[in-house]
Chain A
Amino acid sequence: MPEELYELESEIPANTVEDLLRMDRMPHIWCPGCGIGTTMNCFARALETSGLDLTRVSVVSGIGCTGRVAGYLNLDSFHTTHGRAIPFATGLKLANPSLKVVVYSGDGDLSAIGGNHFIHAARRNVDITVILINNSTYGMTGGQVAPTTPMTAVASTAPYGNFESAFNLPALADSCGAVYVARWTAFHVRHTTKAIKEALAKRGFSFIEILAPCPTLYSRRNKLGDGRAQMLYYQQQSEVRNGADTKDVALGFQGKIIVGKFVDRERQTFDDAMVEYYTRRLGDRYVAPTLTGA
């Protein structure tokens, strides 16, 4: 019997994005049914067909389950401190504008402890892509309530249910000036891949929220079944509404999920504005930064 099993496994085709992963670090830490790995696969597939020079792509993560993405990608990758992936990425990008810089982190990391940096990077239109995996909770630390936990959902620090309003993250990004705002779920792998590819092609602050199941610490505590059950919820309750007003896409507990591309516009990036403004004001006296500085 074991020989048969072995033969069966050997027929599984190799993952075409293995070159983009640090396979020597597998297995990853994520739980069965977690959606983060699925989104990482989407990201890798988007990169594969993006036409980007992969040696010039950097991924920056904060702390948490999604924060571990940086460590599994075979790219220049930075696993920074809790909430501070965006300011690290800002420094990286401004110091070398030829890099494509992607921030890949969780909802708690980017919208709670890192919320201030999120709004300011969007306001400045720093040329980075922010991929936020929203699993509605703090998974790594044991399922505490997050700014994204839907009202009434139970969390380890909201044992009687959450009574705080959750962030509508696409509306936040939109109102701060992001040039690209989309939301998808771990169920929508093709849409997600396409959205990531589009976001990577944008100049400016692009933002994608991806809902992902946390079966261990969110679904189980809320009696929502396993990862598959949450994927069925995403399938059945999602409504694609491209161009939706972001004010209308707030999430409720197991309610309807408005997904789609909400914002796609042009705005001058921080580094373009800097160079253009200094050139205009200072003329020949302006010395534009060069790539090597050390």
Chain B
Amino acid sequence: MKADPAGVLTGAHFIDGDHACCEGAIAAGCRFVAGYPITPSTEVVERIAERFPLVGGVFIQMEDEIASSIAIQGAVWAGKKAMTVTSGPGFSLMMEHIGFAAMTETPCVFVDVQRAGPSTGLPTQPAQADMMQARWGSHGDYQAITLAPNSPQECFDLAIMAFNLSETYRVPVFLMMDECVGHMTERVVIPAAEDIEIVPRRWFRGAADAYEPFRAGEEMVPPMVRAGDGYRIHVTGLTHDERGYPAMTVAAQERLVRRLNDKIRLNVNAITAYQSDQVEDAEVVVVSYGITSRTAIPAIEQARREGIRVGHFRLIVVWPFPEEQIRRLAESARALIVPELNLGQIALEVERCVHGAVPVTLVGHTGGTVHRPAEIYEAIIRSVKGD
């Protein structure tokens, strides 16, 4: 399905990542946003508030992030595509409803424009320290999808991808921006609506008496209905059977939770997206994501000028983690370098995947600004020298 032209501002724009994210969501068909102001994400909802009355959307500024993160799910069950937008402290407050979305298979998008923490931290300065929270933040076993844009253009593109993946797999999807990407102003090209591919919600259209809201077929993702369509559904955060009824048994838990995880875990190759640059014959590969991928580029170029074969592997989809691709990097390269604006999150995941085959070096940073390329360059040089 193609995007609704009414919402698409086709053309070249000079806007920041927050604004681009807003336009991506609108192009993706998002017509309900609930949010609460928080730096550095506020510009997303400010633009939503201005744009939504012009495109048939409903924006409501809720009383807090907890309310925002569940109001969007009410809107989804009424038939909308919906999103909420926040930063670290608000993201922490939303965790319970991320689990609710996972458990009730409510497709929705959470944008976290990351700032330095913990707690109130540095509200106006960047970090990438919520990456593990995006994977494990809510209690219980679940899988979601996490995207990491590295430019305003990607804030637009990946916002659309986030909605599409959310509808395809009926999971919460996280767009993990950061303060730099959010406030960076660059050229953003918005394509014509007919060039934007949109995944519509998959509706169940059969008879009500035969309908079981949580019975999934081979693809492990059940079709949806809306409140008011006459199916008289029950949706609960309790462990439930295919009818949606609470089922307090070990067997029901295994059946449901296994499927909720498998629908992502077993589809990792369909979901994953990455950018791979000269990794085939690389002796060192830098594994990066988000804004850090851009501070890595000058470091990589400098090392290459000095004759070092450096590859660059950029994660676009961070979760589910591309285990297979990372493992393959370790088959050819002698070392992997992971720069990130935290003290070791994705580096741990890379280590897990390579399982000791090659050394993995974290270039950590507590946030507040981005790395100096020299820090990454030096890590590359050290790894080649083998110390």
Q: Do A and B originate from a single complex?
A: yes
Per the bound structure, the CA–CA distance linking A77 and B74 in Å amounts to: 11
Which of B31, B77, B234 contacts A289, CB < 8 Å? B31
Establish whether residues A116 and B63, one from each chain, have CB atoms under 8 Å apart when the complex forms.
yes
How would residues 66 to 106 of chain B score, 1 for a CB under 8 Å from any chain A CB and 0 otherwise? Answer: 11101111111111111000000000000011001000000
Cβ–Cβ < 8 Å partners of B172 in chain A: none
Establish whether residues B227 and A88, one from each chain, have CB atoms under 8 Å apart when the complex forms.
no
Q: Which residues of A contact B (CB under 8 A)?
A: 22, 24-25, 55-56, 58, 60, 70-71, 74-81, 84, 87-96, 98-99, 116-117, 120, 274, 278, 282, 285-294
For residue B233, CB closer than 8 A to chain A, the reply is yes
Query: Nearest Cβ distance between residue B210 and chain A, in whole angstroms?
Result: 15
Cβ–Cβ < 8 Å partners of A24 in chain B: 245
Query: Nearest Cβ distance between residue A18 and chain B, in whole angstroms?
Result: 14
Q: Which residues of B contact A (CB under 8 A)?
A: 6, 29, 31-32, 34, 53-58, 60, 62-64, 66-68, 70-82, 96-97, 100, 167, 200-201, 226-238, 245-246
Establish whether residues B29 and A294, one from each chain, have CB atoms under 8 Å apart when the complex forms.
yes
If the complex has contacts A77-B235, A293-B29, are A282 and B80 also in contact, measured as CB distance less than 8 A? no
Establish whether residues B55 and A91, one from each chain, have CB atoms under 8 Å apart when the complex forms.
no
Establish whether residues A95 and B238, one from each chain, have CB atoms under 8 Å apart when the complex forms.
no
Establish whether residues A77 and B234, one from each chain, have CB atoms under 8 Å apart when the complex forms.
yes
Establish whether residues B74 and A95, one from each chain, have CB atoms under 8 Å apart when the complex forms.
yes
Establish whether residues B228 and A84, one from each chain, have CB atoms under 8 Å apart when the complex forms.
no
Per the bound structure, the CA–CA distance linking A71 and B80 in Å amounts to: 23
What are the 9 tightest A-B residue pairs by CB atom distance, in nearest-first order?
A91-B74, A95-B78, A91-B71, A92-B74, A95-B75, A87-B67, A79-B236, A96-B78, A293-B80
Which of B66, B81, B232 contacts A75, CB < 8 Å? B232
Establish whether residues B57 and A91, one from each chain, have CB atoms under 8 Å apart when the complex forms.
no
Which of A91, A99, A120, A288 contacts B228, CB < 8 Å? A99
Cβ–Cβ < 8 Å partners of B62 in chain A: 87, 90, 120
Cβ–Cβ < 8 Å partners of A286 in chain B: 53-54
Establish whether residues A88 and B236, one from each chain, have CB atoms under 8 Å apart when the complex forms.
no
Per the bound structure, the CA–CA distance linking A144 and B209 in Å amounts to: 41
If the complex has contacts A94-B60, A289-B31, are A89 and B200 also in contact, measured as CB distance less than 8 A? no
Query: Nearest Cβ distance between residue A172 and chain B, in whole angstroms?
Result: 15
Which of A55, A87, A88, A95 contacts B232, CB < 8 Å? A55
Cβ–Cβ < 8 Å partners of A91 in chain B: 32, 34, 70-76, 78, 82
Per the bound structure, the CA–CA distance linking A287 and B53 in Å amounts to: 6
Per the bound structure, the CA–CA distance linking A294 and B230 in Å amounts to: 18
Establish whether residues B75 and A94, one from each chain, have CB atoms under 8 Å apart when the complex forms.
yes
Across the interface, name the chain B residue whose C-beta is closest to A288.
B56
If the complex has contacts A79-B238, A116-B64, A294-B81, are A95 and B29 also in contact, measured as CB distance less than 8 A? no
Establish whether residues B55 and A81, one from each chain, have CB atoms under 8 Å apart when the complex forms.
no
Query: Nearest Cβ distance between residue B70 and chain A, in whole angstroms?
Result: 4
Per the bound structure, the CA–CA distance linking A278 and B54 in Å amounts to: 9
Establish whether residues A94 and B53, one from each chain, have CB atoms under 8 Å apart when the complex forms.
no
Query: Nearest Cβ distance between residue A268 and chain B, in whole angstroms?
Result: 16
Establish whether residues B54 and A282, one from each chain, have CB atoms under 8 Å apart when the complex forms.
yes
Cβ–Cβ < 8 Å partners of B229 in chain A: 55
Per the bound structure, the CA–CA distance linking A273 and B73 in Å amounts to: 23
If the complex has contacts A81-B97, A98-B228, A290-B56, are A88 and B79 also in contact, measured as CB distance less than 8 A? no
Which of B32, B63, B67, B200 contacts A94, CB < 8 Å? B32
Query: Nearest Cβ distance between residue A27 and chain B, in whole angstroms?
Result: 14
Cβ–Cβ < 8 Å partners of B80 in chain A: 95, 293-294
Cβ–Cβ < 8 Å partners of A87 in chain B: 34, 62-63, 66-68, 70-71, 74
Establish whether residues A294 and B79, one from each chain, have CB atoms under 8 Å apart when the complex forms.
yes
Cβ–Cβ < 8 Å partners of B81 in chain A: 293-294
Cβ–Cβ < 8 Å partners of A116 in chain B: 63-64, 67
